[in-house]
Amino acid sequence: MPTPLKPRKRFAKIVATLGPASSSKQMVHALFEAGVDMFRLNFSHGSHAVHQQNIQTIRQIEEELNHPIAILMDLQGPKFRIGRFEHEKIMLEQGQNFIFDNDESLGNNTRVYLPHPEVFSSANVGDRLLIDDARACFEIIKNDGKRIESKHIYGRAISNNKGLNMPDTILDVPVLTKKDEEDLKFGLMQDIDYVALSFVQQASDMAYLRTIVGDKAAILAKIEKPSAIDDLDNIINASDAIMLARGDLGVEFPPEKLPSIQKSVIQQVRKLGKPIIVATQMLESMIESPVATRAEATDVDAAISGGADAVMLSGETAVGKYPIEAVSFMNRMIIESEKDHRYQIKMNTPQDDHPDKTSETAISHGVKAIVNAMPICAIACFTTSGGTATRVSRERVLTPLIAMTPDINLARRLQLYWGIDAREMTEEKKLKDIMTAAIETVENRGYGNNGDWVVVTAGVPFGIAGTTNTLRLAQVGDEYLTKKAGI
């Protein structure tokens, strides 16, 4: 049996994107040891063969290190772009009229081809069209279904094939593009753990995705459109996890609104008991530089201090020159943020509302009360469904939390949750075996020594989801509790 990787010295998790700079087995192994908890595969880039090789590499490392690793497949979603111009680029006057139409000929300084009929069928007068990451803005003044007449609001120049965003419009587009359908079919055959849906507009998008994915993977909603913010509670309830994708969200909202949106989204997702990833440009400068900027350090701290379950690296690890340095810095930054006494006070503050009234919720409250009442070196949750472990995670108990499950797929998914160190184990049938396994795991993982106290939760009868009804205290090295006691 290989020696497992020692636990991270932090609670929040790190998600890293694999790409040309990080696809070798040696690099993936180094990234994981540097601190990565989940690897993201961006299906906007790369062939199925490349993604399959990355998945196989991750699973090999998982087996070699005896440590479950989560894999996120990120679907591309619909991409909207304008056509081309006669001279590649045009200059515009503020306030001038400009036409978007279905004429495939090259554009000029009065019109351009828009190859997306769903835009013509969905856009309304007053809606904005943002071009090239909002560097240019137009307001629709007329739409006859084939030709959109607009007023130019700001931005001097636009050029060939630039991206289009429509922050005011709910577009009548399929939840999954043909590419997404092909990618999803492939991914579900490859034993991935999470499926991320891009450009979610409303909860029904996630409900549709659930019908396709079923129980083969967890589903994650990427929040990057204003309409998703408007339907946030329903989207959270329809999803297993959330990603605050600040790239397109920062295009469709004014940048000055993003900090408050980030705070409120994190708070709402945590309130409803789901994990949330904060993503995009966390350490953007480290694509080219081995050292992060002070602003980036502050940005990471803001996400962690806000209560995010995870922060994500994109280009920094996919195409950057310093992928290991980026992960190592992110790891150190999280550790420093979590040392702050203000963070610890905030995390220790009880949630105002609770998503349900179940035995798992009651047990999680009991766990937090015990941890606050006496020194506890670790919490061991024996789980079949992950219910109790995720509820303890939601309560932000500032003590190492080991989720012990016989289901390797569940162990992988739990790696995304704040504070959870998920371990696969054989299903135990007797309480004395459960207690022994808990103490041995705490010792082997380096969480405690002789005499240290451990909180153990389990369900009787064992192996049945939703039956957590037992909370016990044990001491590391206590022969009576770990080998003789039983029910």
> Around Cβ 183, how many Cβ atoms within 10 Å?
22
Which sequence spans correspond to the domains of the chain? 13-77+175-340, 89-165, 359-484
DSSP secondary structure letter of residue 7? P
Query: By the 8 A CB rule, do 438 and 454 touch?
Result: yes
Query: By the 8 A CB rule, do 206 and 99 touch?
Result: no
CA distances from 16 to 206, 314, 452, 463 (A): 23, 6, 34, 33
Tokens 């579900």 belong to: 188
Provide the pLDDT for residue 425: 82
C-alpha 65/C-alpha 33 separation (Å) is: 10
Provide the pLDDT for residue 352: 58
Give the largest CA-CA distance in the chain: 84
Burial of 391: CB neighbours in 10 Å, binned 0-12, 13-18, 19+: buried
pLDDT one-digit tens code per residue, 390-411: 999 999 999 999 999 999 999 9
> Around Cβ 430, how many Cβ atoms within 10 Å?
11
Structure tokens at 173: 């587009």
Provide the pLDDT for residue 429: 53
> Around Cβ 19, how many Cβ atoms within 10 Å?
22
Confidence of residue 482 (pLDDT cuts 50, 70, 90): very low
What is the architecture, at CATH level 2, of domain 13-77+175-340? Alpha-Beta Barrel (3.20)
pLDDT one-digit tens code per residue, 350-366: 765 655 667 778 888 88
Provide the pLDDT for residue 434: 81
C-alpha 340/C-alpha 152 separation (Å) is: 48
Topology of the domain covering 89-165: M1 Pyruvate Kinase; Domain 3 (2.40.33)
- Tell me if the bond preceding 115 is cis, omega within 30° of 0: no
Least confident of 61-75, 294-308, 414-428: 414-428
CA distances from 412 to 230, 417, 435, 467 (A): 31, 10, 23, 22
Phi and psi based region of residue 33 (left: phi greater than 0; alpha: psi -120 to 50; beta: remaining): alpha
Q: Which CATH class is domain 359-484?
A: alpha beta
> Around Cβ 202, how many Cβ atoms within 10 Å?
17
pLDDT one-digit tens code per residue, 86-102: 999 999 999 999 999 99
Query: By the 8 A CB rule, do 75 and 176 touch?
Result: yes
Provide the pLDDT for residue 356: 65
Structure tokens at 300: 């990471």
Angle, vertex CA 137, rays to CA 135 and CA 141, nearest 5: 170
Sign, CA dihedral 300-301-303-309, equals positive
Q: Tell me whether domains 13-77+175-340 and 359-484 share a fold.
A: no
Query: By the 8 A CB rule, do 446 and 459 touch?
Result: no
Q: Does residue 487 have a pLDDT over 50?
A: no
